[in-house]
Amino acid sequence: MPTIAVLGTLDSKSAEHAFVADKIRARGFDALLIDVGTGEPPKIDPDISRQEVAAAAGIDLDALMQRHDRGECVGAMSQAAPILLAKLVDDGRIDGVISLGGGGGTAIGTAAMRALPLGFPKVMVSTLSCGDTSPYLGSKDIVMIPSILDVSGLNRISKTIFTRAAGAICGMIGDLEESGEDKPIIVASMFGNTTRCVNEAMTILQDAGYEVLVFHATGAGGRAMESLIQSGMVSGVLDVTPTEWADQVVGGVLSAGPERMDAMSTAKIPAVIAPGCVDMANFGAKETVPETFQDRTLYIHNPQVTLLRTNANECAEIGKVIAEKANANPAPVAILNPLKAISEINGEGKPFHDPDADDALFTAIHENANVEVIDLDLEINDPAFAKACAEKLLELIEKI
């Protein structure tokens, strides 16, 4: 019988979690109640106590609780719960996890969920399921359901929400259709301005027997790709759109953080890199672009997205980063430079055509790279460039 972990603060929100557990059991699943509360004693008996949770991280919970610092307690449980849940998953004791909470409960619940593998069912019913949820989700596939009301008692609204949430986690654990796919995985980064390149390369890689997973380079997409690479499931990386580094350098809104492009080195995975779309940093509507950039070359991609053309200094910095990230990978790596255009709008006669900035990029790559660098007199979306990238990656994978 599949078992679902019901994780929560069973002092203040015991009735709510008990209600969800009952709904899970009514659908033929087992429920494992886990207490992460740090206030009054739990109002229902958990299957795993708060002391057991804390002990997973070597924390003396009783001593901690005596200091009566709620923030410290939430932080401790946010450290311990991921360790405990990851072990439960590794031991095959749970098949999914659900939690309900406000600020503290959401922090603890999602911290635990972020420690679990991609594809493992995770549901968080939260008062914070609006606005910027990225601190809670990270790069993991956590389903956040708005609680509508505060998670405080049972009433006609909360019962409806909690019942649907219980149904959601049970449905996620139901029999999955077997895809029959056991092909090795290649991950690829893509933006709208490199779509044709990736689609062409993907066809070649698929014909060679690989499953290609494409990630949208929007910050969250890059972080998700890095997370999957770290999981050990990936055989090769086609990182032809490291555009998130333009946002990181310039201060745009789609940065994936300074760790972007590190996972390939940690996992020792062969990679082909191209500086796709590093000519653009992303901002919101034109009026949201910082004043300091208003005299720069801007391109309105749509009413909600304005692109800033990176200049020569910024491109030189990005090129150096790309080279250094490639150098750090002990597995075979090659950088392919599309000299005629690094994006759909970068070629001659296009809005972001800037030969000086492009030269600064390519020069920085050559001056700093200790890996193979190949210059091709092609645009990034030319089928010939895509073919070169795909074939080079297949060649590098064969070397492992």
Core vs surface per residue 109-136: b (16+ CB within 10 A) or e: bbbbbbbbeeebbbbbbbbbbeeebeeb
**Using CA atoms, how far apart are residues 150 and 71, in angstroms rounded to an integer?**
19
Distance in angstroms (rounded) separating the CA atoms of residues 298 and 290 = 12
Beta carbons within 10 angstroms of residue 94's beta carbon = 24
pLDDT at 39: 87
Cα dihedral value 231, 233, 238, 240, nearest 10: -30
User: Looking at residue 97, what is its pLDDT?
Assistant: 98
Distance CA 163, CA 176 (A): 22
The DSSP symbol for 364 reads: H
Q: What is the CATH number of domain 3-173?
A: 3.40.50.12020
Q: What is the DSSP letter of 214?
A: E
Structure tokens at 183: 């092909």
**pLDDT tens-digit profile, the chain (400 residues):** 899 999 999 988 899 999 999 999 999 999 999 999 998 889 899 999 999 999 999 999 888 888 888 889 999 999 999 999 999 999 999 999 999 999 999 999 999 999 998 889 999 999 999 878 888 998 889 999 999 998 888 999 999 999 999 999 999 997 655 554 689 999 999 999 999 999 999 999 999 999 999 999 999 899 999 989 988 889 999 999 999 999 999 999 999 999 999 999 999 999 999 999 999 999 999 999 999 998 999 999 989 999 999 999 999 999 999 999 999 999 999 999 999 999 999 999 999 999 999 999 999 999 999 999 999 999 999 999 999 999 999 999 999 8
Radius of gyration of the chain from its Cα atoms, rounded to whole angstroms: 24
Q: Output the pLDDT for position 181.
A: 61
**CATH classification of 185-398, choosing from 1.25.40.340, 3.40.920.10, 3.30.565.10, 3.40.50.12030?**
3.40.50.12030
Which of 257, 314, 259 has its CA nearest to residue 281? 314
Query: What are φ and ψ of residue 68, in 5° steps?
Result: 55, 40
Can you give the pLDDT at residue 56? Answer: 95
| The pLDDT value given to residue 185 | 96
Tell me if residue 185 falls in helix, strand or coil.
strand
CA distance 204 to 221: 23
Whole-structure pTM value: 0.77
Q: How many residues does the chain have?
A: 400
The domain locations on the chain are 3-173, 185-398
